Structure 1
């Protein structure tokens, strides 16, 4: 099988590409390198360009007529940035995705997996959700994902393409073989900020401590990025065996930010100091998923712990300058 991965030189897309290679699936990488890294596409068929570039998409399919499916990972993903620049986020994540699907239809592509987000959910009183839970996206970023899902559902209802949305929870870690990891030197998510605080000897700020969670900090479902990637392989291999069009990808366990900091301090020799501050624009209390559907449809379940995700993130942070400069 050959698969086109948009955003395939980014953190998640490149890890999906590695998991595909390990499973005998050939990835073809498309990335604009706005946030992706050329180094992550090394040794793989790679096209630099935009998903909205119809001529480029036509060239890819002409040169790789055996592409059987697309994994659409290309997107802007930083919540505060989406609050500051909603126009840019809607253009990059929605308008260009519509162009992309039009180009896929023209080239006869019949299967696509869409990288969606758990940030679109309205969490219940116990902070758990499943695929039938209500939606209430709280940031422009999250709304771009919800809009795309609705758009893709309308398209796949009448057009010759089936689109499966995988709703990611909170990826951490790196490829265990250290081929790829977070490309950003200063990532904005909680674990990235912990590593930054640990490296610089500064306090880690818990952003928001008045949420109605068990300790007041936000709650998340931290899934190892390699588990996330292997779920894509399972989805590609089982695409035609089910009719559902949305599947959550998480661990089924909620971890608060304070608990993540405690786990971090158990892994490192020199603990970080934890201080409290207010929430960032667009922040929400969070949620974690019930995982029955992914287990049943994909015959998949996560295998890595939060501690392993922290260790792999730290290992990647140490070698990242050698790989990315």
Structure 2
């Protein structure tokens, strides 16, 4: 079995590719390397190019006619950047995505797993948990691109052209446990990545936003290990026909079911490292929300999946990857 992974040279896409390969599914990688890494494609079938390149997609399907499922991990994902440059986000995440769908339909690839985001949710103000039917409230251009593209996918699936499973990721942390890949961006914008950077630089951590209506004023998130996310994709590929048998468009949350505030993440980080991390409290970032965590029962029902790795596991694997990153992608990568 083969699967096309668009964005398969990025952090999540490359980890999904590894999980597929470990399960006997051959990944075929398509990535323009705007943020992905060529090193993450080593030993795999790899095509460098854009998801809107019809000629390239035609070549991929001609050379691999046994591809039946595509995974769309190709997107820009940084919330503050989307606020500063919304046109780029709508172009990359929506416009090019529509062209990708057209190429899939033309090539006869009917099954699509879409990398969506929990950033689209309006959280329950009582406990910040959300399920797949929770209301949508998009607070950034990035989140709006994900919500808009889900609407497009729902309409395309209703037409009979595709069958789609939208996997709404919560907050990925960690790395491939075998350290084949990990977070490749050297200036991460998420909380754990920043903690790791300032921990090694011996600088204080900037806690952005301390006035949210959470239990300690900091944002709340559902930190899910990237390997757990990757194995959920494998389960979705294996069960795709059963998942979409009654409904051609399904949404599934991928989270741990546990909410962790940034202050609690900080305490867990200090527990793992054994070193206190000084904190400077600052204002919220543009586009940020109080956050949410998953009610993930549907993932168990449809995928036979639940998150296995702990928050501390994710922190440890993130630190292990940080220590090895330069060996994999080079000090100047």
Q: For the superposition of Structure 1 and Structure 2, which TM-score range results when normalised by the shorter chain?
A: over 0.9
Aligned pair 1:305/2:310, yes or no? yes
Counterpart of 1:256?
A: 261
Counterpart of 1:167?
A: 168
Counterpart of 2:271?
A: 266
Counterpart of 1:155?
A: 156
- Mapped partners of 2:164, 2:185: distance in 1: 29
- Mapped partners of 1:148, 1:184: distance in 2: 25
Alignment of 1:77-226 (within 5 A): 77-125=77-125, 126-226=127-227
Aligned pair 1:320/2:321, yes or no? no
Aligned pair 1:282/2:283, yes or no? no
CA shift, 1:269, in A, is 3.0
- Mapped partners of 1:25, 1:176: distance in 2: 19
Counterpart of 1:14?
A: 14
Aligned pair 1:58/2:58, yes or no? yes
- Partner SS, residue 189 of structure 2: coil
- Mapped partners of 1:18, 1:154: distance in 2: 31
- Mapped partners of 1:191, 1:105: distance in 2: 39
Deviations 1:188-233 (A, max 9, x none): 1000000011010000011000000000000000000000000000
CA shift, 1:163, in A, is 1.1
Query: What are the ranges of 5 or more consecutive residues in structure 1 without an aligned counterpart?
Result: none
Query: What are the ranges of 5 or more consecutive residues in structure 2 without an aligned counterpart?
Result: none
Counterpart of 2:74?
A: 74
CA shift, 1:271, in A, is 2.3
- Partner SS, residue 228 of structure 2: helix
Aligned pair 1:45/2:50, yes or no? no
- Partner SS, residue 70 of structure 2: strand
Which portions of structure 1, spanning 4 or more consecutive aligned residues, are displaced by more than 3 angstroms? none
- Mapped partners of 1:270, 1:123: distance in 2: 33
CA shift, 1:71, in A, is 0.5
- Partner SS, residue 136 of structure 2: coil
- Mapped partners of 2:286, 2:144: distance in 1: 14
- Provide the TM-score with structure 1 as the length reference: 0.99
CA shift, 1:272, in A, is 1.2
- In the alignment of these two chains, the number of paired residues is 325
- Mapped partners of 2:299, 2:6: distance in 1: 23
CA shift, 1:242, in A, is 2.5
CA shift, 1:105, in A, is 0.4
CA shift, 1:298, in A, is 0.5
Counterpart of 2:236?
A: 235
CA shift, 1:159, in A, is 3.3
